[in-house]
Amino acid sequence: MSRTLAQVGEFGLIDRIHEIIRVEGVKLPKNTVGIGDDCAAFQPRPGYDLLVTCDCMVENRHYLPRFITPLDLGRRAMVLNISDVGAMGGRPRYALVSLGLRSSTLLEDVMAIYRGFLAELNPFQAFIIGGNVTQSTDANFIDITLIGEVETGRMVRRSTAEPGDVILVTGYPGQSAAGLEILLQTEAGESWDRNPLINAYQYPAHRAFEGRAIAGTGLAHAMIDTSDGLLGDLGHICDESAVGAVLYEKDLPVSEALRQFAETSGRGTLDYVLKESDDYELMVTCTPDHVAGICDAIADTSDVPVTRIGTVTGNKGRIEIIDAAGDSRSVAVSGWDHFSQ
């Protein structure tokens, strides 16, 4: 019979968390202090800079429990953070996890969430070294702080794009937004697992291995993940780098699944590709002569497609789209906003 957190108590939960990390996670390196003391402790490696990010997922705001298993929820929560580390060319090393849980939450569901965390961390030989648990009287939430590392001198930022750079993007941005739209319009069914758009939403993939490979070339000027939507994150690059951009509509990557769905949804494909989404692709800027080197580095890492979609300009803050007829129009930056309606 499944037990709730009210039945096992806080310290029973902590003991189970400690045990699952010890048994199913990778072994902590020497001179590292993990769960069990008042603080975790580790020694940064010589020749590396530390990267630190955090992300919070709140039930019914960032995920809908009826559409996701606890295991996949754990994976998704960790992917969000890994993606940020990868977008600066780093690799994850240590995670601190805080959970806010209703007392009626099943213990087995919490264990499944942790298995999801470990499934994403283990390939990097990364560790959960601490965190916190507390009771929530309303929505459950997951708050992760992820510490990564990047070789000194290899960090890639969003603030260093230059006019004349080419803009590249991996994968097919917009699929996740379409997948969520399908879920919200349908009931649970066996066809879910066979729909590539729903899969893009349910099982997001980070590009941290690709990001690290890109950073290793030393050829990228700027890089960011597209978690806020392609246009929103391009806006972040433009703001931080004090540049503008031109995108070419004919070059934007659109998967066949998204194209077919857009035809039936009444929305244009650009609404999905450009606007708020839940994708974790990489957007990269570099000089034209370095495009091949970056594409080769990605190809040596994975088979994710890379598309050249535009150019960085000196028109600070101005983003334009050139349509198939060659006509230009300015577009307003739009992306995910935590406080929007």
Distance CA 148, CA 84 (A): 10
**pTM of structure:** 0.93
Handedness of CA 185, 275, 330, 207 (dihedral sign): negative
328-341 burial by CB neighbour count: b if 16+ within 10 A, else e? eeebebebbeeeee
Residue type, 286: C
Judge residue 313's burial from the number of C-beta atoms within 10 Å of its C-beta, 0-12 exposed, 13-18 middle, 19 or more buried.
middle
- What is the per-residue pLDDT across 166-205, written as a single tens digit (0 to 9) for each? 999 999 999 999 999 998 887 655 556 678 999 999 899 9
Examine residue 325 and state whether it is found in any structural domain, yes or no: yes
Domain with 110, as residue range(s), is 5-151
Q: Is 320:246 a contact under the CB 8 Å cutoff?
A: yes
CATH code for the domain of 22:
3.30.1330.10
Phi and psi, residue 65, nearest 5°: -60, -25
88 forms bridges with which residues in the sheet? none
Distance CA 77, CA 98 (A): 11
Q: Are residues 316 and 172 located together in one domain of the fold?
A: yes
Query: Whose CA is closest to 40, among 172, 143, 145?
Result: 145
- pLDDT confidence of residue 321: 95
- What is the per-residue pLDDT across 248-291, written as a single tens digit (0 to 9) for each? 999 999 999 999 999 988 888 998 999 888 899 999 999 999 99
Work out the end-to-end distance of the chain between its first and last CA atoms, rounded to an integer number of angstroms.
Answer: 41
Q: Are strands 91-101 and 127-135 parallel, antiparallel or unpaired?
A: parallel
Examine residue 336 and state whether it is found in any structural domain, yes or no: no
- pLDDT confidence of residue 248: 97
CA 126 to chain CA centroid, nearest Å: 17
Examine residue 341 and state whether it is found in any structural domain, yes or no: no
Q: Is 177:277 a contact under the CB 8 Å cutoff?
A: yes
Q: Are residues 174 and 319 located together in one domain of the fold?
A: yes
Q: Answer left, alpha or beta for residue 43, where phi above 0 means left and psi between -120 and 50 means alpha.
A: beta
For the chain, the domain total comes to: 2
CATH code for the domain of 318:
3.90.650.10
Q: Are residues 133 and 219 located together in one domain of the fold?
A: no
Residue at which a domain ends, from 117, 151, 185: 151
Distance CA 275, CA 39 (A): 41
CB-CB neighbours of 268 under 10 Å: 11
Give mean pLDDT in consecutive 10-residue pieces for the chain, a chain of 341 residues: 86 91 90 88 94 95 89 96 98 97 95 97 96 92 98 97 98 94 74 81 94 98 95 95 97 95 88 89 98 98 97 95 90 59 48
Query: Whose CA is closest to 228, among 120, 125, 84?
Result: 84
Q: Are residues 230 and 275 located together in one domain of the fold?
A: yes
Q: Residue 92: enclosing H or E segment and its boundaries?
A: strand 91-101
Q: Are residues 147 and 174 located together in one domain of the fold?
A: no
Query: Whose CA is closest to 278, among 11, 15, 32, 57?
Result: 57
Distance CA 204, CA 19 (A): 27
Q: Are residues 189 and 314 located together in one domain of the fold?
A: yes
117-152 burial by CB neighbour count: b if 16+ within 10 A, else e? bbebbeebebbbbbbebeebeeebbbbbbbbbbbbe
Q: Are residues 104 and 190 located together in one domain of the fold?
A: no
Examine residue 160 and state whether it is found in any structural domain, yes or no: no
Q: Are residues 69 and 202 located together in one domain of the fold?
A: no
